[in-house]
């Protein structure tokens, strides 16, 4: 999906726990996430802690979307 959306010229950031490069889905901008069942959350944290965590992950995603890249780039 990532590649096809990017083909429209829209920057896309893939937030994924599995960022296998060899089996790559072809994402150019990647933000590694927490865990498969909760990529942008962490139930073991307090509500505030989890909110902060998610915020930091979204910040990375936005940073990725505003950064010029020339190939696969991992933002972590």
Partner 1 sequence: MFFIEGTFEDVLIKIRDYVHQGVELVSHPLGASIRILFSPYRSVILGEKNNKINAYHIEIIESSIISYRNINAGRKIDYKNAHDYALIDVELLKVSLKSFKEINNNHINLFGGDSFETGA
Partner 2 sequence: MSDKYKVLYYVNQFFGQIGGEEKAGMEPVFKNEKIGPAVGFESFLKGNGEVIGTIICGDNYFNEHKNEALSFIMKTVKEVKPDIVVTGPAFNAGRYGMACGVIAKTIVEELDIPAVTGMYIENPGVDTCKDKVIVVSTPDSAAGMRKALPVMAAITDKLMKGEELGLPEEEGYIPQGKRLTVFSDKRGSQRAVEMLIARLKGEGFKTELPMPEFDKVEPAPPIKDLSKATIALVTSGGIVPKGNPDRIQSASAQKWGKYDITALDKLEADYCTIHGGYDPVYANEKPDRIVPLDILRQYEKEGIIGKVSQYFYTTTGTGTSVGNSIKFGKEIGAELKADGVDGVILTST
The binding site for partner 1 (CB under 8 A) comprises 17-23, 32, 34-36, 74, 76
Residue 12 vs residues 21, 29, 63: alpha-carbon distances, Å: 17, 7, 11
Residue 29, classed as helix, strand or coil, is strand
Residue 6 is a binding residue for partner 2 (CB under 8 A): yes
Whole-angstrom Cα distance, residue 56 to residue 48? 12
Contact 74, 19 (CB under 8 A): yes
> 45 contacts which partner out of partner 2, partner 1, none, CB within 5 to 8 A by kind?
none
Minimum CB distance to partner 1 smaller for 7 or for 35: 35
Which residues of this chain interact with partner 2, rule CB under 8 A? Answer: 1-18, 22, 24-26, 28-29, 33, 36-43, 50-51, 54-55, 57-58, 61-62, 65-71
């Amino acid at each position: 999906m990532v590649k096809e959306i990017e083909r429209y010229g829209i920057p896309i950031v893939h937030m994924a726990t599995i960022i296998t490069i060899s089996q790559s889905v072809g994402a150019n901008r990647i933000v590694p996430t927490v865990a498969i069942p909760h990529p942008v959350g962490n139930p073991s944290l307090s509500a505030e802690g989890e909110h902060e965590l998610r915020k930091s992950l979204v910040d990375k995603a936005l940073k990725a979307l505003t950064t010029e890249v020339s190939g696969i780039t991992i933002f972590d």
